[in-house]
Amino acid sequence: MKTLRLLSISLFTVLLLVVALAACTADDMKDVKSSSSQITSSPIAPGNNNQPGESSGTGRIAEVSACNTYIIALEDITPVGSNWEWVWSVQNPNPGNGNNGTVQNLSHWGMQFGSCFAWASVVGAAYSTDGVNWTSFTPSYQVDPSQTCMTTPVLKFDYGTSGTNPTYYKLVLNQNYQTGYVPGYYKSGSRTGCCIFNFVGVGCPSGTGEGPIAGER
């Protein structure tokens, strides 16, 4: 009888441990689901007055899907000496030949600025495949004849993407600007083509009291 009593106690203890483990696992899954639900790709609201000088080190500020194709993200705005470095990334989350919902590699992309933006503020530009090693180029503001989606002057980043790897793009300004929704465009292969979209880019100078530039939504 003593042996049976001990065996019953042991079985009861094992059952309690199994129930406790299941409860912990369920709680852990709830925590994971809760964390996942906080991840969003929604861009910041128009008119947000993030100050470039204050956003250094905050990481990705916003991202938006460009015409349901590429993910455009404003990675950071960093003060460097008397300048501000704006860095975006572009990623193709579903690369392919452009059929069956896939997206061809990005050829190049670019952006527009509003009347409150002074082109004289542009110090330089560059692109990178890793966000560390940069290839600089002399930026210009002119029409891109390689596509027909946007026929007005743009700042063109003439470098694309490969597979799902993000490509990084840097614009160096000598003036402190706010963020704001601005018009952008991309050019890709013959199937994916080109498209105009709004994304979080360079707005008006800080302290002017002006809202986001033309192209906001």
pLDDT of residue 61: 80
What confidence tier does 172 reach under pLDDT thresholds 50, 70, 90? very high
In a domain, 73, yes or no: yes
Among 67, 57, 72, residue whose Cα is nearest residue 157? 72
Among 167, 141, 161, 137, residue whose Cα is nearest residue 73? 167
In a domain, 103, yes or no: yes
Which range of residues forms the domain containing residue 63?
Answer: 52-205
In a domain, 44, yes or no: no
In a domain, 213, yes or no: no
How many independent structural domains does the chain possess? 1
In a domain, 76, yes or no: yes
In a domain, 134, yes or no: yes
**In the chain, % of residues over pLDDT 90:** 64
Query: Above 70 in pLDDT, residue 70?
Result: yes
Q: What is the CATH number of the domain that holds 120?
A: 2.60.40
In a domain, 99, yes or no: yes
In a domain, 78, yes or no: yes
- pTM of the full predicted structure? 0.71
Query: Above 50 in pLDDT, residue 3?
Result: no
Query: Above 70 in pLDDT, residue 140?
Result: yes
